Amino acid sequence: MIRVGLLGCGNVAEVIASEGTGINITALYDFEHSHAEHLKELTGAPAFKKFEDFLSQDLDIVVEAASVGAVYEHAEDVLMSGKDIVILSVGALADTDFKNRLIKIAEEKNRKIRIPSGAVMGLDNLKIGQISPMSKVLLRTTKSPRSLRIETNEKTLVFSGRADECIKQYPKNINVAVALELATGHDVEVELWADPDIKRNMHEIFAEGDFGDFYLKIKNNPCPQNPATSYLAALSIITLLKNLEKPMIIGT
């Protein structure tokens, strides 16, 4: 059974720990040690105070559900130590030099970097953008002003432009745009809206190309413990982990 280490023990990790029946969580790390201790109670896995001790455990894969900063700090070491990594804070990979460095290490070490679908759907077949021309990929994300940490009483366009610029201003909110760029191999235009009337985070994806055109709208339910996090993001990691060892792979 694949041995999983959780790097980051917040909302997403808590859903993985509590709902990921059959997932073999064997080590926990969070720079807020109390968060790791909390998940220790749920999983029985040891919680480490030092990242080095966490990483020296017998793990097959480390699941990052922490922050863009955690990816910068730890992803290279994870791969260097011969473990695969799941990166949920995919905004870190908007930095092309950093992304290429990780890919090089993964190749050298014969390891995989896995990017979950996170808070959206549709990444599977949008990968055709890597082999067939696309003329447009647009992500329109709408969130409450509170989750964007701004104040407004009316629907407001807070950002319009390139994904890599958006992630610099809203590192916690637009991972999806970077995941879309990685999937399609195409620049993604981003519109980020704050809407005081919206109850759930909404992502709309528009794509056009030689294949035809595509539109997807997803309204995300929040995590039970914290409304800021999309439940779907946690479910997408559970699904990814559960499919790793299956003989039949669907929708890649």
Ligand X SMILES: NC(=O)c1ccc[n+]([C@@H]2O[C@H](COP(=O)([O-])OP(=O)(O)OC[C@H]3O[C@@H](n4cnc5c(N)ncnc54)[C@H](O)[C@@H]3O)[C@@H](O)[C@H]2O)c1
Q: CB-based contacts of 168: which residues, under 8 Å, 6+ apart?
A: none
Which CB atom, from 42 or from 211, has the smaller least distance to ligand X? 42
Instruction: By CB under 6 A, name the binding residues for ligand X.
Output: 8-13, 30-32, 35, 65-67, 69-70, 73, 88-90, 118-119, 172, 175-176, 179, 226, 229-230, 233
Which CB atom, from 114 or from 211, has the smaller least distance to ligand X? 114
Q: How far is the CB of 169 from ligand X (least distance, A)?
A: 14
Which CB atom, from 109 or from 172, has the smaller least distance to ligand X? 172
Annotated binding-site ranges = 119, 175
Q: How far is the CB of 248 from ligand X (least distance, A)?
A: 25
Q: How far is the CB of 47 from ligand X (least distance, A)?
A: 12
Q: How far is the CB of 194 from ligand X (least distance, A)?
A: 17
Q: How far is the CB of 115 from ligand X (least distance, A)?
A: 8
Annotated binding-site ranges for NAD(+) = 119, 175
Q: Are the CB atoms for 179 and 121 separated by under 8 Å? A: no
Catalytic option among 35, 38, 186, 203: 203
* 186 catalytic residue (yes or no): no
CB atoms within 10 A of CB 237: 26
Which CB atom, from 140 or from 172, has the smaller least distance to ligand X? 172
Which CB atom, from 81 or from 210, has the smaller least distance to ligand X? 81
Q: CB-based contacts of 237: which residues, under 8 Å, 6+ apart?
A: 12, 16, 63, 65, 86, 88, 116
| Nearest residue to ligand X, by Cβ distance, number only | 10
Q: How far apart are CA 16 and CA 52, in angstroms?
A: 23
Specify the amino acid at residue 1: M
Listed in order, strand segments (DSSP E) in 47-104 are: 47-48, 61-64, 84-87
What angle (nearest 5°) sits at the alpha carbon of residue 86, between those of residues 120 and 141? 25
Q: How is residue 92 annotated by DSSP?
A: G
Of the candidates 201, 200, 207, the one whose C-alpha atom is nearest the C-alpha of residue 180 is: 207
Largest Cα separation within the chain, whole Å, is 52
Q: Which residues are catalytic?
A: 203
